[in-house]
Every structure is written in C-alpha cells, then in structure tokens.
Amino acid sequence: MKQAYFITGTDTDVGKTLVTTALLYQAGQRQLQTIGLKPLAAGCEQTPEGLRNADALLLQQYASVALSYDQINPVALEAAVAPHIAAAGRQLSADRLASYCRGALMQKADLVLVEGAGGWRVPLNPRENLSSLAQLLELPVILVVGMKLGCLNHALLTLEAIARDGMQLAGWVACQTDAEMLCLNENIATLQQRIRAPLLGVIPWLEQPDPAIASNYLDLTRLLST
C-alpha cells in the first residue's frame, strides 16, 4: 500500500530536506520504491539544463523511482526569497502545483514524500499559502522542528495552523540546527508533552548533514505501519 506524506517545517533551513532524504534513504535500504517531490523551489541556479535547486536534486538522488527533474521540481524560481516574491509576476497556484504532484503520485511507489518550501504559511499569492497544496493533496503532515531558541513558539503556532486547516499530523522530527542550543532535551520534552503525534526521531547537530547518518536517528516503521 502506497504511503504519502507532506513534509513541512517550523521555518526555512530547519532540516526538511535532510529529513526527507534520510527517510528516502532508509526506505531504499528496505528495498522500497520511493519518490521525493519538491513541487516549488525558490533559490535555484542557472545550469545548461535550466534552473536547478540543490534540495530537489538531493531528492532526485535519494529516491529509487527515476523521475525527470521537471517532475520532481516543476516550479523552479531563481531568487532565494519567498516564492510569491521570487515569482516576479508569475502567478503561482496551489491547484496547479497539486496537478503536477498528482501526476507523479500516480507512479508506482511504496513511499512518496512531498517537501514543502519554507514553513506552513508561506504565501503563494494574495489568497493562498503553500499549506493549500497539502490540503488539496489531502496528505498527512510531517513537521520538522528546527531545534533552536524560539522553537517552542514556532512549533506550537505551526501545529495550531495545521490543526485549523483540518490536516492530520502523522508525526514530527526534532532536528538540531543550533550546535550550541541550551536545554535541548528539555525543549524536546516540552514538545512531546504538547504534540499529540509520534516523535519520529531526534537528529543531532551534524557538521556535515548526511542523509545516511541522519537516517539512523529516524523511525520509518511508524510511518509505514499507519
């Protein structure tokens, strides 16, 4: 049975791609067929093949089902700013992003991970946020919490927004983004008391983020058993 999830974060640069690729890596080690999608990416470089995003390329590398880059990242924006600003007049639409994803979701796979951009409330246009994409796809959500000062407020506000949107939280991951964070364990314990979804893992500070290493700290079984 295919399992599919939408991965969001409490902010940008909190470890969404590390978590996504680590889960893809772990699933691949179990000989599962996997797909990783990054439907919208802001912060792309010009290449002879067109605009390319480093995170989307990692998803392509660690997924076992071969998809073209355009299937993985159909909307690539050059500027590393909020998508609706990076679009520079180009109209972004949750419905169009969802249609791109649905095409890839029809592929045969055991696990599909759709990685968002930034946080849950990143604007797409004057009326929609990227959270609208998760709603249209009706995918359970995995929340990546960047463990740093302020993470409790960011996590709890994001959880409120996810619940208000009527979305199911499948689990959450604590990803240490501050090597010197004080009271790391106490912060994680506080979130465990407040979040009514399983903690899928705690990824410590990694000097060089590596999906294979990070996968050792994640429990994929909890996702596959739902």
Alpha-helical segments (H) within the chain:
16-29, 54-62, 69-72, 83-86, 94-105, 131-137, 151-164, 184-194, 211-214, 221-224
* Catalytic annotation present for 16: no
- 2, 38, 108, 148: which one is catalytic? 38
Condensed to tens digits (0 to 9), the pLDDT of residues 24-75 reads 999 999 999 999 999 999 999 999 999 999 999 999 999 999 999 999 999 9
Predicted local distance difference test score (pLDDT) of residue 169: 98
The Cα 63–Cα 119 span in angstroms is 23
pLDDT band at residue 224 under the 50/70/90 scheme? confident
Residue with tokens 């590390």: 18
| pLDDT beyond 90 at 217 | yes
Q: Taking the CB of residue 95, how many other CB atoms lie within 10 A of it? A: 10
Task: Name the CATH superfamily for 3-35+91-224.
Answer: P-loop containing nucleotide triphosphate hydrolases (3.40.50.300)
Angle CA(197)–CA(198)–CA(199) in degrees, nearest 5?
A: 120
Cα–Cα distance measured from residue 8 to residue 68, given in angstroms and rounded to the nearest whole number:
23
Handedness of CA 94, 99, 102, 104 (dihedral sign): negative
Q: DSSP string of 135-151? A: HHHT--EEEEEEESTTH
Question: Any idea which residue has 């700290």 for tokens?
Answer: 217
Do 200 and 219 touch, CB atoms closer than 8 A? yes
Q: What is the mean pLDDT of the chain?
A: 96
